Structure 1
Amino acid sequence: MIDWRRIDHVQVTIPSNAMDAAREFYGDVLGLTERDQPDSFGEGDTAWFRADDVEIHLAVEPSRERSRRHPAFEVTDVAAARAHLEAHDIETVEEPKIPGRERFSFRDPFDNRIELLQRA
């Protein structure tokens, strides 16, 4: 059983030449606060914004074949959630480290990416 807590973030994808316009829209037009992202994500193809306690992550995705778009849900026990999914033969994938969060992702039967995480 998975003990769901809340949605943590949603990732939205944008074309490779749209980061400046995306920052203007999400920051200036929508009034969201851009925040620093972990060093493990590098520079240039992602930007993170905050709306209260939910984040919106923008990511460049030139190809739409296997999308990076996803919701991320906070759970109370990420290890138990992962074990539950793997017991049902669902493949799980390690994600880049984010300080203070343990996380992984998986694909639903329709190839939608879903991330589960637990805050430290």
Structure 2
Amino acid sequence: MTDEFAFERLDHVQLDIPAGAEDECRAFWSGVLGMTELAKPPVLAARGGCWFRGGGVEVHLGVTPDFRPARKGHPGIQVRSLDALAERLAAHGHEVRWDGDVPGRRRFHSADNLGNRLEFLEPGPAATEA
């Protein structure tokens, strides 16, 4: 921590998508997860991709020419009713892989329609500053 500035919260996370995959993104982020699609500013909309928001979480999906799904790097999205989300993902054909490796945290990994890794977790013990 410094006296010059302080971190407040993560504004958004961006994941890569291939060109033309916006409808697949809409099917997952809006259709499965129930997030609302946001209008992108015109100059950014011309580049393709799409943005979504649900609760305090915002996800930007940006077109990259040599798309490869993120297999290790991922957003960690905190949710209420983790079991209900796991059931919803499974019902829509998305694998849910529970992970007990972090003591005191219930979490699982899944993937979007394009194979990008996602982590969903319940609130855990209050974080302490280092």
| Bigger CA radius of gyration | 2
Return the structure number with greater strand share.
1
Aligning the two structures, in what range does the TM-score lie when normalised by the shorter sequence? 0.3 to 0.5
TM-score by length of 2: 0.45
TM-score by length of 1: 0.48
